[in-house]
Amino acid sequence: MNITFCCTDTKADPWLKGLRAAFPHATVNVWQPGAPQADVAVVWAPPQQFLDEQQALKALFNIGAGVDALLKLRLPPGVKVVRLDDAGMSVQMAEYVCHAVIRHFREFDGYEADVKEGKWSYRKPRERQAFPVGVMGLGVLGERVARALRVFDFPVHGWSRTPKAIEGVFTHSGEAGFEGFLSASRVLVNLLPLTPDTQDILNRHTLGRLQPGGYLINVARGAHLVEADLLALLERGHLAGATLDVFRTEPLPPEHPFWAHPQIRITPHTSARTLRDESIAQIAGKIRALEAGQPIAGVVDAIRGY
Ligand code: NDP
Ligand code: OXD
């Protein structure tokens, strides 16, 4: 078997070592232009030239959950696109989102500012029922996040394309359920995949439907958010703030207003990192299953876009 590795912004050596250990009889190399045809590829945002040259690939293993960058490209005919299925990401996402929700709800930024000024001052405890959290996307990550938020007794709403049942979570689905989902939420967490249907979905109309004092947590993709609309809603006071991990342009350009905005907290696309060992183990298991003609989880539906 010939396995090729073509991942932008990723140190190749540890991945090659792990893949070679999992497949001692296979050829495992970093892709170079003109390389022999490989059977499967491990990829992250590969160049079009790679896919144009590697027309015999049977499967592309994306080392992330989101496949938006990959689906923009012309793919070899009949190739399976396989996403990472959790591989240690959902617990990280649950930590990140719970931290952001709790930091906002408990006013920790305000306390930090007070402490810097040497002030010992209390704030009135807030009513938890007044902070319903809406989770957009109830897939591998969204469902874990919704369940984690329930542990803290926040009212939790979830929205997905098809109907879902999650214990303790008010679920809504499809276009018909969107309006009711938004107006039931005060804190909005975005965990949708980026597809033609979801691009720009966080805009003045949708964010304007959140309850007053709304708060946005975007941990999915930057292109979900119309950035100027967020700034306008913060300015108007309809939104209280935002925690953003993803941006339309990454790295966030130095002159971007989000860097210094007093109501916006940013992190550098780090809410749920790809964990190398877990990912290699998962990909190796799926390669073996495919070789044995068995079905695997995480095969992307290119028409649906996720
Ligand atoms: P999944 O594919 O498992 O889940 C996607 C969810 O979104 C599903 O519940 C799906 O509905 C729902 N959905 C898709 N399209 C629509 C739509 N048009 N309307 C309503 N609901 C829709 O994805 P994951 O949970 O694994 O990951 C979600 C995204 O998180 C990734 O695509 C990626 O962009 C982002 N991500 C970000 C990371 C970071 O570090 N910032 C790390 C990892 C992922 P249904 O269940 O009905 O199919
Ligand atoms: C992913 C990501 O999609 O890290 O996995 O953004």
Q: What is the pLDDT of residue 228?
A: 98
Q: How far is CA 282 from CA 4, 8, 129, in A?
A: 16, 20, 39
Least distant ligand from the CA of 198: 1
Q: Is residue 146 within 8 Å of 93, Cβ to Cβ?
A: no
Q: What is the pLDDT of residue 165?
A: 98
Least distant ligand from the CA of 68: 1
Q: Cβ(221) to ligand 1 under 6 A? A: yes
Q: For residues 142-158, give the mean pLDDT.
A: 98
The first and second tokens of residue 60, run together, are 């592309």
Provide the pLDDT confidence category of residue 183 given band limits of 50, 70 and 90: very high
Report yes or no on whether pTM surpasses 0.85. yes
Matching CATH number, 89-266, of 3.30.565.10, 3.90.1200.10, 3.40.50.720, 3.30.1330.30: 3.40.50.720
* Predicted confidence (pLDDT) per residue in 67-86, tens digit: 999 999 999 999 999 999 99
Q: For residues 135-160, give the mean pLDDT.
A: 98
Most ligand 1 atoms within 8 A of CB, residue of 90, 192, 194 to mutate: 192
Most ligand 2 atoms within 8 A of CB, residue of 9, 82, 89 to mutate: 89
Q: Cβ(142) to ligand 1 under 6 A? A: yes
Matching CATH number, 2-87+274-291, of 2.60.40.1120, 3.40.50.300, 3.40.50.720, 3.20.20.70: 3.40.50.720
Q: What is the pLDDT of residue 27?
A: 98
Q: Read off the amino acid at residue 90.
A: S
Provide the pLDDT confidence category of residue 95 given band limits of 50, 70 and 90: very high
* Predicted confidence (pLDDT) per residue in 194-217, tens digit: 999 999 999 999 999 999 999 999
* Predicted confidence (pLDDT) per residue in 43-65, tens digit: 999 999 999 999 999 999 999 99
Q: What is the pLDDT of residue 265?
A: 98
Q: For residues 262-287, give the mean pLDDT.
A: 98
